[in-house]
């Protein structure tokens, strides 16, 4: 059977399937460009594809390149035209996702001077061509703009969405300069993501007022904020990456359970989240830091060059069971501020699991070898230690490990991830020595590398 006969046979078999099953199959195509191709395959697919309730179209780098090339740009259908055609031919759309692929997001305005608007996707004139028609049934919108076209154009797309989409549940906007002028309340919206967005302080206040029902909030690289404040009564999960150094940063969220906060060096940091149980905090330097009523906090992850000061600011440490510590620039750890595990065990006496990143491990080991670390009482509750290790001197590293095992009398599980550049024979000797000195512990081994997923080798050797 030749390829054309095979394709024809497939089309006939698809036509014979129940319409509901064909719609289910088509709904599993994540890329609407594939859906558009299916419309050309048969009359049945063409008709039933219009029942798919989402549109997801991303402009690829290859399409962008061809649209700029003198040899091909005349035959490339504009990206916005393709999107509008998909929207207009769909009967019911509940989810819309339109944007540019990751390679395009990495292009900066300095690299390409582009004053066109063919990929300016938060352009209110473009969005107004398709949004009002869908607004009644839309549940989710995601727009990932092309930064070099959007960064110097202030968009009022937020106001348009708030005016039209009264049933919207999830909204995601990326790579744009947004205006909040004439923003209306959206009481149905429970999830909001703003990523690499330019806002002002008063704009964030408007977000608090107009999206009162938010349960999930992601603010990633939102710039232009001097004294930002989140005050949301129903918020449960929040990720906030602050790209500048604000004068103050405040979070008031009585129902917040999970928080990931990354900021440089705020003048003051106030967190009032009494139900918080999972907290990931990354600070360049701890200064005026206040966290109140954190008795529900069970899992804590801290990352800072100034770990010792940051650890000391947690008066609620007795409730924490799972702790992860790290310090950036681990290769410079010998020159960083003093840090000992004595202070960690004093502040967090009831730990069951401790994870040490390479920076925290190196600082702790250095302090121990200098005689600056003496753990007074045994850590009886600690069951698991996971450490990413850089072995400079095997005898020193082994001494530190055995010291920890001596103080953690009920430790059952020790996992060591050794840096991938450490010689195999050194890693092997360390493993054998650890197992010989403490057979009561279950040993796990692996390797780690910057920016890569940990590689677990085995239990034991």
Q: 334 falls in which pLDDT band (50, 70, 90)?
A: very low
In the block, tokens 């090339």 appear at 69
Query: Shortest CA distance to 366 belongs to which of 392, 386, 385?
Result: 392
Q: How many domains does the chain have?
A: 1
Highest averaged pLDDT of the listed ranges 53-67, 160-174, 300-314: 160-174
| Mean of pLDDT values over 22-37 | 66
Q: How many CB atoms lie within 10 A of CB 63?
A: 21
Query: Which token pair is 327?
Result: 């310090």
Highest averaged pLDDT of the listed ranges 108-112, 121-125, 433-437, 456-460: 121-125
Within a domain: 390: yes
Q: How many CB atoms lie within 10 A of CB 316?
A: 17
Q: Which residue has the higher pLDDT, 3 or 102?
A: 102
Within a domain: 133: no
Burial of 393 (0-12, 13-18, 19+ CB in 10 A): exposed
How confident is the model at residue 32, as a pLDDT? 63
Q: Which residue has the higher pLDDT, 302 or 316?
A: 302
Within a domain: 460: yes
Residue 335: which residues within 8 A CB-CB, separation 6 or more?
A: none
Is residue 430 over pLDDT 90?
yes
Residue 240: which residues within 8 A CB-CB, separation 6 or more?
A: 217, 218, 219, 220, 230, 251, 259, 260, 261, 262, 263
Q: 289 falls in which pLDDT band (50, 70, 90)?
A: confident
Residue 58: which residues within 8 A CB-CB, separation 6 or more?
A: 31, 97, 98, 99, 100, 101, 144
Is residue 5 over pLDDT 60?
no
How confident is the model at residue 156, as a pLDDT? 95
| Mean of pLDDT values over 136-140 | 89
How confident is the model at residue 10, as a pLDDT? 47
The pTM of this model reads 0.85
What share of the chain in percent tops pLDDT 90? 44
Within a domain: 139: no
Within a domain: 13: no
Residue 365: which residues within 8 A CB-CB, separation 6 or more?
A: 396, 397, 400
> pLDDT tens for residues 110-131?
667 667 899 999 999 999 999 9
How confident is the model at residue 460, as a pLDDT? 52
Is residue 313 over pLDDT 50?
yes
How confident is the model at residue 11, as a pLDDT? 47
Alpha helices in 89-150 (DSSP H): 102-105, 124-134, 147-150
Within a domain: 180: no
How confident is the model at residue 104, as a pLDDT? 83
Q: Which domain holds residue 326?
A: 307-461
Within a domain: 65: no
Average pLDDT, the chain: 84
Within a domain: 357: yes
How confident is the model at residue 295, as a pLDDT? 83
Pairing of strands 455-459, 442-448: antiparallel
How confident is the model at residue 85, as a pLDDT? 84
Is residue 66 over pLDDT 80?
yes
Q: 335 falls in which pLDDT band (50, 70, 90)?
A: very low
């Amino acid at each position: 059977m030749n390829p054309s006969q095979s394709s024809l046979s497939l089309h006939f078999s698809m036509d014979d399937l129940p319409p509901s099953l064909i719609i289910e199959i088509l709904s599993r195509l994540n890329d609407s460009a594939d859906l558009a191709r299916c419309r050309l395959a048969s009359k049945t697919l063409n008709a039933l594809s219009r029942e798919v309730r989402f549109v997801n179209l991303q402009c690829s780098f290859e399409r962008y390149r061809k649209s700029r090339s003198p040899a091909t740009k005349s035959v490339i259908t504009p990206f916005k035209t393709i999107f509008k055609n998909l929207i207009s031919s769909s009967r019911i759309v509940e989810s819309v996702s339109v944007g540019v692929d990751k390679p395009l997001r990495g292009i900066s305005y300095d690299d390409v001077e582009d004053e066109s608007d063919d990929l300016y996707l938060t352009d209110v004139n473009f969005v107004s061509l398709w949004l009002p028609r869908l607004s009644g049934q839309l549940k989710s919108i995601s727009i990932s703009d092309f930064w070099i076209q959007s960064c110097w154009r202030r968009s009022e797309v937020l106001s348009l969405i708030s005016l039209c989409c009264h049933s919207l549940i999830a909204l995601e906007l990326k790579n744009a300069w947004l205006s909040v002028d004439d923003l209306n309340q959206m009481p149905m919206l429970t999830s909001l993501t703003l990523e690499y967005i330019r806002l002002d302080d008063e704009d964030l206040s408007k977000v608090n007022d107009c999206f009162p029902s938010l349960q999930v909030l992601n603010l990633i690289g939102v710039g232009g904020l001097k004294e930002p404040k989140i005050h949301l009564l129903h918020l449960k999960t929040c990720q906030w990456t602050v790209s500048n150094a604000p004068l103050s940063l405040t979070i008031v969220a009585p129902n917040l359970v999970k928080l990931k906060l990354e900021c440089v060096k705020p003048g003051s940091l106030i967190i009032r989240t009494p139900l918080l149980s999972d907290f990931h905090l990354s600070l360049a330097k701890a200064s005026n830091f206040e966290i109140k009523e954190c008795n529900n906090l069970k899992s804590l992850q801290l990352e800072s060059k100034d770990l010792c000061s940051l650890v000391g600011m947690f008066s609620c440490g007795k409730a924490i069971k799972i702790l992860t510590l790290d310090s950036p620039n681990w290769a410079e750890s010998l020159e960083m501020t003093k840090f000992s595990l004595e202070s960690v065990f004093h502040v967090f006496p009831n730990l069951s699991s401790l994870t040490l990143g390479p920076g925290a491990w190196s600082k702790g080991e250095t302090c121990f070898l200098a005689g600056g670390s003496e753990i007074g009482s045994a850590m009886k509750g600690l069951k698991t230690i996971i450490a990413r290790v850089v072995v400079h001197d095997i005898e020193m590293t082994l001494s530190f490990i055995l010291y920890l095992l001596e103080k953690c009398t009920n430790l059952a599980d020790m996992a060591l991830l050794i840096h991938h550049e450490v010689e195999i024979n050194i890693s092997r000797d360390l493993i054998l020595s650890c197992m010989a000195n403490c057979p009561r512990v279950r040993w796990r081994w692996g390797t780690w590398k910057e920016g890569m997923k940990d590689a677990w080798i085995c239990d034991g050797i």
